[in-house]
Amino acid sequence: MKHRTYALLLAATLSVSLLAGCGSSNGANSSQSSDNSSISSSQGSQSSSGSDVSTPDASGSGSDVSTSASGSTSTPDGSQGETQEQAKLTLSRTGFTLFSAGSSYTLKVDGVAEGTKVTFKSGNPDVATVDENGKVVAVKPGNTKITVTAGDQTATCVVACKWEESKPSTGGGSSSGSGSSSSGGGTTTPDPEPSKVDLAAFCTTVTTNYSLPHLSLADSTMLDNYYAGLSSVATEQSQVYINMMSMNMGEISLVQVKDSKDVATVKAIFQARIDSMVNGGAWYPEPTRIWTEQSRVVSNGNYVMMVVGEDCDSIVKDFNALF
């Protein structure tokens, strides 16, 4: 009986000890959990406080980047305009020819901002003048350059004034007297017949003596395409040779008109052919240079010649020697 009572007391004591131990452990865990919560709360507070410190820095940095990007794309002070390509000043012609004193051509200007002052100046007013509206007027034979200024841009145009001064008639004066004394009458020595000059033979001589390769005698379709209006002019002879190569280094065209009034018309048609090649038709730099610098349109009586090539001046001399 005593042993049983003792065993029950021992079991009760152990139970109480175990319960006390468990309670203490739970309390410690609870306390630790509470402490951890406090620490976590403190850390959360610290994190929140850290956020309060770092947010302005990050915000300020973002503001700086945004401002920089905004300034690079839409700066109101004109910095954006500096990156845009400025409109280029261009003229309606980079070169043209006037065939008589007093004849004129008005240059047109493009690529100029509204309100920009445009000025025109002739390099040699004795050859050709130009007014404030760009009207160029021929004065005497020669070449000059017209300079156009708009703001900080300039452009130029070469003007050629080409015509022959009136020549005294070879049928009168001393020739008449000589004819009268030799023949006993009042007749004059007639001028050579224009048809005596064989343009086909002259072209053969020129292409043999000078370098003008890849030429083809133009048919009616080619004339209409490259020498518009020429087929409508009444002619005695027509020798128009066209270079159909992309590297067009020269051409020669000769015409004898029936009516001397058509000489100026043919010269204008020939010059239009030159101008079209200078202004893009020649494509490549060297052919464009040749058509610009080494092209000639000349006439003698009812004969008109256009020649383009390195030997143009020599060919002009040969042409004039025919008469």
Write the pLDDT tens digit of every residue in 62-116.
433 333 333 444 444 544 444 456 678 999 888 888 877 888 888 999 999 989 9
Residues 260-296 as b or e (16 or more Cβ within 10 Å = b):
eebbbbbbebbbbbbbebbbeebeeeebbebbbebbb
241 versus 84: which is more confidently predicted? 241
Q: Which domains does the chain have, with CATH numbers?
A: 90-161 (2.60.40.1080), 197-320 (no CATH)
- Which 8-state DSSP code applies to residue 260? G
DSSP β-bridge partners for residue 297: 306
Average pLDDT over residues 292-313: 94
Residue 271, pLDDT above cutoff 60: yes
What pLDDT score does 105 carry?
A: 84
Average pLDDT over residues 244-271: 94
What pLDDT score does 225 carry?
A: 93
CA distance 42 to 159: 91
Q: Is 169 exposed, middle or buried (0-12, 13-18, 19+ CB in 10 A)?
A: exposed
- For residue 244, give the 3-state DSSP assignment: coil
CA distance 294 to 272: 15
- pLDDT-derived band at 46 (thresholds 50, 70, 90) equals very low
Tell me how far CA of residue 198 lies from CA of 56, 201, 255, in angstroms.
96, 5, 11
pLDDT in tens, 114-162: 899 999 999 999 999 999 999 999 999 999 999 999 999 999 999 988 8
